């Protein structure tokens, strides 16, 4: 995305991306559970989670589901603000945190428009979803992708025209959350509803 068209034969660097097909998502929490167990995420914090809203009034009502993971942005503000260079963007696009460097200053949490980061309750360093890069590096899919029973999550190299995710992104209208923030998010959604992103629990909005 965001790159000029090039010849098919030209070798492009890997750019990983994730795609949630919300038409297939049934809101079963298997991805959340797989993420929790794969990454040893403690109680009370989440690397991935599901936001559910209900729109309308019965019988004209529907539930909307939004699975949220890190967007692994192309222009990540967390990498800009980290004072010790502990948030790092890899050449393949994955943004990860060096656990040995992080001092727990929480600046990345203050700057991230998606609120995907947390402080580990006992290690006291920032953590977040990094698309299971330990699995990706060995050729496996991230835990959530592998666990999803309906195949609603796709993961792969967006620059490889033959990958399933590149085909799906090319053929469908896709959206991302808060693209106006200038972060260039690389987690895409098919069938994303505006209200499920914008609905917030502020005062006067019960």
| Distance in Å, CB of 91 to another protein, minimum | 18
Q: How far is the CB of 96 from another protein (least distance, A)?
A: 15
Backbone angles phi, psi at 72, to 5 degrees: 40, 60
Query: x/- site string to another protein, residues 97 to 126, per CB under 8 A?
Result: ----xxxxxxx-xxxxxxxxxxx----xxx
Q: Does 168 contact another protein by CB under 8 A?
A: no
Q: How many CB atoms lie within 10 A of CB 43?
A: 7
Cβ atoms of residues 11 and 160 within 8 Å = no
How are beta strands 60-68 and 187-190 bridged, if at all? Answer: unpaired
> Nearest approach, Cβ of 44 to another protein (angstroms)?
9
Tell me if 159 sits within 8 A of 167, measured CB to CB: no
How does strand 187-190 pair with strand 87-89?
A: unpaired
Binding of residue 26 to another protein (CB under 8 A): no
The residue (of 18 and 136) whose beta carbon lies closer to another protein is 18
Nearer to another protein, 86 or 159 (CB): 86
Q: SS in 3 state form for 126-189?
A: EECCCCCHHHHCCCCCCHHHHHCCCCCEEEEECCCCCCHHHHHHHHCCEECCCHHHCCCCCEEE
Calpha distance 53→67 (Å, rounded)? 12
* List of residues 6+ apart from 163 with CB closer than 8 A: 156, 157
Q: Where are the alpha helices (DSSP H) in 69-140?
A: 77-81, 107-111, 133-136
Q: How far is the CB of 79 from another protein (least distance, A)?
A: 8
Residue 150: CB minimum distance to another protein, A: 19
According to CB under 8 A, which residues from 71 to 90 bind another protein?
Answer: 77, 80-86
Among the listed residues 129, 152, 177, 190, the single contact to another protein using CB under 8 A: 177
- Binding another protein (rule: CB under 8 A), the pick from 12, 37, 54, 137 is 54
- Binding residue count for another protein, defined by CB under 8 A: 55
179 scored as a contact of another protein (CB under 8 A): no
Contact footprint for another protein (CB under 8 A): 45-46, 49-57, 61, 63, 68, 77, 80-86, 101-107, 109-119, 124-126, 177, 181-182, 195, 197-204
């Amino acid at each position: 995305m965001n790159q000029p068209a090039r010849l098919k034969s030209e070798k492009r660097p890997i750019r990983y991306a994730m795609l949630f097909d919300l038409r297939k998502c049934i809101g079963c929490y298997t991805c959340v559970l797989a993420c929790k167990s794969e990454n040893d995420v403690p109680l009370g914090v989440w690397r991935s989670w599901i936001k559910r809203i209900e729109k309308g009034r019965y019988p004209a009502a529907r539930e909307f589901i939004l699975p949220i993971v890190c967007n692994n942005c192309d222009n990540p503000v967390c990498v800009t603000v980290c004072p010790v260079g502990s948030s790092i963007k890899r050449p393949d696009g994955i943004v990860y945190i060096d656990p040995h460097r992080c001092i727990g200053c929480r600046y990345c949490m203050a700057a991230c428009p998606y609120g995907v980061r947390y402080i580990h309750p006992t290690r006291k360093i920032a953590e977040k979803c990094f698309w299971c890069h330990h699995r990706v590096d060995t050729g496996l899919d991230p835990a959530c992708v592998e666990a999803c029973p309906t195949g609603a999550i796709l993961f792969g190299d967006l620059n490889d025209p033959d990958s399933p995710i590149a085909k799906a992104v090319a053929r469908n209208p896709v959206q991302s959350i808060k693209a106006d923030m200038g972060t260039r998010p690389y987690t895409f959604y098919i069938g994303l509803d505006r209200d499920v992103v914008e609905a917030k629990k502020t005062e006067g909005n019960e």
